[in-house]
């Protein structure tokens, strides 16, 4: 990220501030009798991720949502019909944001010492400036990138994303 330090801090604070509202929106979405239970445990991730990977495949042109703070507002969403836009609609981006927030909740429940940090790596690292979750020593966990990557794999590339992949990554990060 080529933004100034102040802008990176502003985006980081916005990301962290949006976590609880995104968690609340996901809980509202998943309040039906057959929906996965959002108990904040690592064990719940597989069922929630299976639901997420199914729902992300459903384009939501009719459903518009506010763009998450991590999305570049200059990048048009899929429903804008601007050439080169997408791949996701604002509704799908909201779903991705909600899933990111839930993964963060699961991880901070399991590791109360986990903290949201602004990643700073090598000057050419594309992840510089991103908000990540530090769960111990070593590389912080890129919640945003991992969930967004799953959505890209399933929706854009039409790949079968293993449901357990996310929970395995989370367990590995929590073990550090």
Average pLDDT over residues 35-58: 96
- The answer to whether the CB of 134 falls within 8 A of the CB of 114 is yes
> What per-residue confidence (pLDDT) applies to 126?
87
Q: In the structure, what pLDDT confidence band is assigned to residue 176 with cuts at 50, 70 and 90?
A: confident
What is the span of the domain harbouring residue 150? 5-174
> What per-residue confidence (pLDDT) applies to 60?
65
- For the chain, how many structural domains are there in total? 1
pTM metric for this prediction: 0.94
- The answer to whether the CB of 134 falls within 8 A of the CB of 13 is no
> What per-residue confidence (pLDDT) applies to 108?
98
Q: In the structure, what pLDDT confidence band is assigned to residue 1 with cuts at 50, 70 and 90?
A: low
Model confidence pLDDT, tens digit, residues 71-112: 988 899 988 888 888 899 999 999 999 999 999 999 999 999
């Amino acid at each position: 990220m080529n933004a100034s330090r102040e802008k990176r801090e502003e985006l980081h604070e916005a990301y962290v501030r949006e976590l609880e509202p995104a968690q609340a929106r996901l809980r509202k979405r998943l309040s039906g009798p057959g929906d996965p239970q959002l108990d904040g445990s690592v064990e719940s991730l597989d069922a929630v991720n299976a639901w997420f990977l199914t729902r992300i495949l459903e384009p939501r042109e009719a459903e518009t949502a506010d763009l998450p703070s991590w999305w570049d507002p200059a990048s048009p969403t899929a429903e804008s019909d601007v050439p080169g836009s997408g791949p996701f609609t604002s509704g799908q981006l909201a779903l991705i944001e909600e899933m990111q927030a839930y993964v963060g909740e699961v991880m901070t429940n399991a590791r109360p010492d986990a903290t949201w940090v602004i990643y700073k790596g090598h000057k050419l690292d594309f992840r510089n400036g991103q908000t990540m979750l530090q769960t111990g020593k070593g590389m912080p966990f890129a919640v945003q990138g991992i969930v967004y990557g799953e959505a890209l794999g399933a929706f854009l590339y039409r790949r079968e994303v293993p449901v357990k992949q996310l929970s395995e990554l989370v367990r590995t990060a929590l073990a550090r």
